[in-house]
Structure 1
Amino acid sequence: MKYLNLGCGKRFHPSWTNINFSSTDENVIPYDLKKGIPYADESFDIVYHSHLLEHLSKNEAKAFTKECYRVLRHQGVLRVVVPDLEQITRLYINCLDNTSNNFLEQEQNYEWILLEMYDQTVRNQTGGEMINFLSRKDIPNQEFIIKRCGSEFKRIILASQKTDSQKTDSQKIVVDESSIKKLVKHLYRLLRYPEYRHQALLKLILKPIELEALSIGQFRQSGEVHQWMYDRYSLSKLLQEIGLEKIIKRTAHESYISNWTSFNLDTEPDGSIYKPDSLYMEAIKPSL
């Protein structure tokens, strides 16, 4: 059996072929998946990708899914994981209805769900408003967020709280560098890093508003923001349109793939779900 994990980030299994836009480990191959999948037709028995499709435009997503079909062997399995639009919209309505109770935690739940729905689409900087929310000293609805978004967000919250608790008054004092030290550092970066030279040149020739627009444009094309959302109907329709069959909605623990949970891609070693906010869909490539 040959397994392919696309857009794996830092979550992969060493026995699989793992591809990401940039390498995150010696077991991860760097490749721009917008250019296709760099393997021959019918190369893999299993193709998997998680929280990748929503970062592509609707047209790019269809082209990419066709590539998944192309490299999949007949009777092979495609497993797709994306944020669940149906789940989040139903939860949004519930949170909206509960704001009338005037409880702080329920208001925070409503604020968080709005961030989940929109911040990942409209943000112009890394982390957006979601990271600001998670970095708060006190998060009344911490349990709600962790239950909703899983272990990744739990680690972010705990790391932020740990960092804040370790700060002392002396560490919070910002000591300004001397002008000479700043100049030396600036000159070193100009000599050492081409990208730094490029950015320094742009600051000289562009107006502040032009520089800001360029920075936002570069970020928006970096791949972090969400370009589209899917529910069980739209994702099933997409898989059907490219020729797949036996399309089925799954849980994190269910799969056509033998011993699926042993790979710990959608689940943690303790059996908990990595991203509970997800929609899991599988389909099979038909025989000739």
Structure 2
Amino acid sequence: MNYLNLGCGRRFHLAWTNVNFTSSGEGVIAHNLTTGIPFPDNSFDVVYHSHLLEHFPQNIAELFLKECYRVLRPQGILRVVVPDLEQIALTYLEALKNANDGSQEWAANYEWILLEMYDQTLRNHSGGEMAAYLFQEHIPNQDFIVKRLGIEAKNLIEAGRKRREQHQPNSTPENKPLNLLKQVYRFVRHPNYRRESMLKSLLGEDYSALQVGRFRQSGEVHQWMYDRYSLATLLKKCGLENIIQHSASESYIPQWTSFNLDTEPDGSVYKPDSLFMEGIKPAT
């Protein structure tokens, strides 16, 4: 069988054809997926993408899924994984009720679930308020967050710990000459730094708007969210049949868990906050 993993990031299997916006590992093909999928019709038995679709505007998402359909062979399987809007909404309502009833534990959970709902859509800098929350020295509801986000939350919490340990203030008077020399060196040796310095000087206060605009178009933010109804409706619109919601370990794909894309080797779920849905391309 021929397998295709789109927008794979660093989560890929060497038995698959792996495509990402930038090459993220050996054999990963770099390609801008907003311009289509760079393979002929009927090329793959399986097409998979995880936490990619929500980064496209609605109109681009539909075109992208039609591209997935195009490169699938008849009877091929499309597996789509996205953040589960329904799960987020239900957790929000539970947190709202319990926090309103006076639970301090759920008050912290309420604060977090609001970040899940809004931050990934509204943020203007990488990581947003979710990363800031996870970089705190004391996280009051760490177990709750790890249960929702899995290994990614653990990695961010660990990154925050390391950053705190390695942080060295460099604004003391004795460091200022060294910092100035570093800036001069970067200006002379690095064209991008030189360009940005000139833009900042020319644009003044408008430079921050340029930075926000660049970030908003970088692909990190969520452009739309899906629940089981909206995603199934979209897959059906794109021509797929036998559409079904699975768990992380369930799939039409033979020996699915052996690839460790949605699950870890120990059987735990890689992204527990996800909606897992599949459809099949008709035979004719």
**What is the TM-score when the length of structure 1 is the normalising length?**
0.94
Aligned-CA RMSD value: 1.7
Shift of 1:105: 1.8
**Residue 248 in 1 paired to residue 210 in 2?**
no
Alignment of 1:156-167 (within 5 A): 156-164=156-164, 166=165
Shift of 1:167: 5.9
CA displacement, residues 195-218 of structure 1 (integer Å, 9 cap, x when unaligned): 22221110121121x111111000
Shift of 1:139: 1.2
**Residue 235 in 1 paired to residue 231 in 2?**
yes
Cα distance in structure 2, aligned partners of 1:201 and 1:96: 48
Shift of 1:182: 3.8
C-alpha contact 1:56 1:228 (8 A) present in aligned 2? yes
Q: Which moved more, 1:150-159 or 1:42-51?
A: 150-159
Structure 1 residues 47, 135: CA separation in 2 closer, same or farther (over 3 Å shift)? Answer: same
Q: Which runs of 5+ in 2 are unaligned?
A: none
Structure 1 residues 286, 135: CA separation in 2 closer, same or farther (over 3 Å shift)? Answer: same
C-alpha contact 1:104 1:140 (8 A) present in aligned 2? no
**Residue 137 in 1 paired to residue 133 in 2?**
no
SS in 2 for 1:274: coil
Opposite residue 274 of structure 1, the aligned amino acid is Y
Structure 1 residues 101, 240: CA separation in 2 closer, same or farther (over 3 Å shift)? Answer: same
Shift of 1:177: 6.4
Cα distance in structure 1, aligned partners of 2:110 and 2:178: 47
CA displacement, residues 38-58 of structure 1 (integer Å, 9 cap, x when unaligned): 111111110000000000000
Shift of 1:24: 1.2
Cα distance in structure 2, aligned partners of 1:105 and 1:213: 38
Equivalent of 1:273, from 244, 265, 269?
269
Equivalent of 1:206, from 188, 203, 208?
203
Q: Which moved more, 1:105-114 or 1:25-34?
A: 25-34
Cα distance in structure 1, aligned partners of 2:170 and 2:46: 53
Cα distance in structure 2, aligned partners of 1:177 and 1:128: 33
Structure 1 residues 181, 138: CA separation in 2 closer, same or farther (over 3 Å shift)? Answer: closer
Cα distance in structure 2, aligned partners of 1:40 and 1:4: 12
SS in 2 for 1:206: helix
Q: Which residue of the partner structure matches residue 9 of structure 2?
A: 9
**What is the TM-score when the length of structure 2 is the normalising length?**
0.95
Opposite residue 37 of structure 2, the aligned amino acid is I
Cα distance in structure 1, aligned partners of 2:180 and 2:134: 35
Q: Which moved more, 1:171-180 or 1:112-121?
A: 171-180
Equivalent of 1:197, from 188, 194, 200?
194
Q: Which residue of the partner structure matches residue 47 of structure 2?
A: 47
